[in-house]
Amino acid sequence: MVKNREFVEMIVWGCGISLAVSIICGIMLGPAAAAAVLAVGVMVVLISVRYTRKRYADIERLNHYLEKVLAGDPAPDLLDQKEGELSILKANIYKTTTTLKYQKELLSQDKKQLADALADISHQLKTPLTSMMVMNDLLKTEEDGDKREDFLHTQSEQLDRMNWLIQTLLKLSRLDAGTLVMKQETVGSAELVRDVMQPFAIQMELKNIRYSGFGGSMELSCDRNWTVEAMQNMVKNCIEHMQAGDMLTITEEETNLYREICISDTGCGIREEDLPHIFERFYKGKNAGKDSVGIGLALAKSLIESQSGDILVESREGEGTRFHVRFYKTII
């Protein structure tokens, strides 16, 4: 601490002032008064040194704490229950370092998730790319017109799959970045469901899937286009897990808290251990189709939640699945 310039200056000034005052008192009042004044001055200087050393020791502990934080080592507890500016400083430093530590953990998690996502994307794109490369090589040597047509059809399907994957990933990225703007508009539930089901009419007819809709008059406050896309992903998931003769049902319900559209099927259902993970990106359960990527339901949930809504799911393996799409009347 003697290396501290301010501390040395304080001792020099304290001793100098005490000595000067004692000399003046000695001249005016005599040697006894001078000795008394000098003794008091020395005591004041010693007391100041003692408390200053204690203050500098606290500052040194703060510095040691920050060095440990910067080095990434486990830092000791910094908080105390005393009052004063130094205790407030300790509390604020502790809050700052705790926040930085939390942000560092989040950043580490984000990096891991990004690495996992890139690995999943690479895997998903690698499969159709490999198929297209093989088809392209075969097209160079194949002379049979029918086979060439089949190869071209396969390539077209793979291109469609890659385009869907890339477009979906771009939408998820925009949602993550907060750049996807949702327009709040009033939409009739029957009209919304009609738009949702329109692209699946031929597919359901070919697969012999029965459908039961409704003609309700409930009105929803949502972004029509993005809500349609979210619900289409759920309907697509249902159809992929249904067989001939199964039933797809869409109903509506309104309570004091929310307006809900329910999409249910009588398909193969979802395993209990898969149920908590079906909205996770790139997660594919045991009953997932061979062409499933695992991002359709993740996109659907993100789109609905970005409108202050929610998606709940109920399912039993072998009995079917029920999706509840809820739009709350007040934000909760």
Six-digit token string for 7: 């501390």
Q: Say how far apart CA 249 and CA 199 lie, in whole Å.
A: 16
Chain centroid to Cα 72, Å, comes to 24
Per-residue b or e along 273-300, where b marks 16 or more CB atoms closer than 10 Å to that residue's CB? ebbeebbebbbbbebbeeebbbbbbbbb
Q: Give the per-residue pLDDT at 291.
A: 60
Q: Give the per-residue pLDDT at 248.
A: 93
Q: Say how far apart CA 131 and CA 152 lie, in whole Å.
A: 11
What are the residue ranges in the chain where pLDDT is below 50? none
C-beta neighbour count of 196 within 10 angstroms = 22
* Beta pairing, strands 219-222 & 247-254: unpaired
Query: Who contacts 71 (Cβ-Cβ below 8 Å, separation ≥6)?
Result: none
Q: Give the per-residue pLDDT at 203.
A: 87
Strand partners, 259: 254, 327
pLDDT 10s digits, 30-54: 777 767 766 776 677 677 767 677 7
Q: Give the per-residue pLDDT at 76.
A: 63
Total-model pTM:
0.61
Q: Give the per-residue pLDDT at 59.
A: 74
